[in-house]
């Protein structure tokens, strides 16, 4: 058995954390819009958001490669202007994990926002409150359970992503090798002891992370109650 390298675990945790941050920044406004809008545009946006859930990871990874690769307009612009490369970098891993996990966050938050009593929103508007003030003082506090649930689901999904991350960031040791990919590589090399150890570590981290987040949700619930 080769020596245990914890870099893939640390990278996976970092990628999942960053994916959740990206998901909150992008997902909360989208969830708010979808919770209020009933137009064809909102239906189209909802459909596009759901696609990462139903598309095979390799297909999703291929689309990201086409969109952000070095030969794409976006990839060329980022590389020429900012010397920033997406493909085969940790940044690519974060983007891949964000794309596959953000639908879970948006769906959960959208449901929570939709259940908020609209009379409270209308009353705040009549009192002259701005949209941002209403969002942070009414919508977010009342929808916090959905937000926390969405964060838990998004973190778990990002932590365990394999196919999309592999397509976009590859499996470069000590650079882009996340835990799921390390498990796959170890299994392919026939190192059963290392594979079992990595699987046990990954499972333990996932269980502990979800347990702590659930306990945090319940603690917040007792305080808000």
List, for residues 16-41, the tens digit of each pLDDT value: 999 999 999 999 999 999 998 888 89
The answer to whether 148 touches 104, Cβ cutoff 8 Å, is no
How does pLDDT run across 97-119, given as a tens digit for each residue?
Answer: 999 999 999 999 999 999 888 88
Q: What domains does the chain contain, in order, with CATH numbers? A: 7-224 (1.10.3720.10)
Burial of 222 (0-12, 13-18, 19+ CB in 10 A): exposed
Mean pLDDT of 166-181: 92
What is the CB-side half-sphere exposure of residue 42 using CA atoms within 13 A? 13
Whole-number pLDDT of residue 224? 54
Whole-number pLDDT of residue 4? 80
The answer to whether 88 touches 172, Cβ cutoff 8 Å, is yes
Percentage of the chain with pLDDT > 90? Answer: 56
Has residue 137 got a pLDDT over 90? no
Which helix (H) or strand (E) is 43 found in, with range?
helix 40-54
pTM of the predicted structure, to 2 decimals: 0.89
Vertex 155 angle, CA 45 and 143, to 5°: 60
Dihedrals phi, psi of 181, to nearest 5 degrees: -70, -35
Nearest alpha-carbon partner for 106 in 25, 181, 180: 25
How does pLDDT run across 42-63, given as a tens digit for each residue?
Answer: 999 999 999 999 999 999 999 9
Question: Average per-residue pLDDT in the chain?
Answer: 89
Specify the length of the chain in residues.
Answer: 225
More confident residue, 31 or 127: 31
More confident residue, 158 or 213: 158
The DSSP symbol for 85 reads -
DSSP for 58-80, written as a single string? HHHHHHHHHHHSTTSHHHHHHHH
C-alpha distances out from residue 188 to 1, 37, 181, Å: 13, 48, 10
What is the CB-side half-sphere exposure of residue 47 using CA atoms within 13 A? 6
């Amino acid at each position: 058995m080769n020596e245990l390298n914890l870099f893939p675990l640390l990278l996976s945790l970092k990628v999942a954390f960053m994916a959740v941050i990206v998901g909150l920044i992008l997902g909360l406004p989208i969830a708010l819009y979808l919770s209020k809008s009933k137009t064809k545009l909102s239906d189209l946006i909802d459909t596009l958001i759901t696609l990462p859930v139903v598309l095979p990871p390799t297909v999703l990874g291929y689309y990201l490669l086409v969109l952000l690769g070095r030969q794409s307009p976006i990839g060329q612009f980022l590389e020429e202007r900012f010397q920033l490369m997406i493909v085969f970098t940790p940044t690519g891993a974060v983007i891949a994990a964000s794309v596959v996990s953000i639908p879970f966050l948006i769906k959960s938050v959208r449901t929570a926002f939709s259940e908020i009593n609209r009379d409270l929103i209308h009353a705040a508007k009549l009192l002259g409150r701005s949209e941002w003030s209403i969002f942070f003082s009414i919508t977010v506090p009342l929808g916090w359970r959905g937000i926390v649930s969405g964060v838990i689901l998004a973190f778990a999904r990002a932590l365990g992503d394999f196919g999309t991350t592999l397509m976009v960031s590859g499996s470069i040791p000590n650079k882009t090798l996340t835990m799921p990919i390390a498990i796959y590589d170890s299994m392919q090399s026939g190192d059963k002891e290392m594979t079992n150890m990595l699987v046990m570590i990954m499972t333990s981290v996932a269980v502990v992370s979800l347990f702590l987040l659930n306990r945090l949700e319940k603690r917040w619930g007792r305080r808000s109650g």
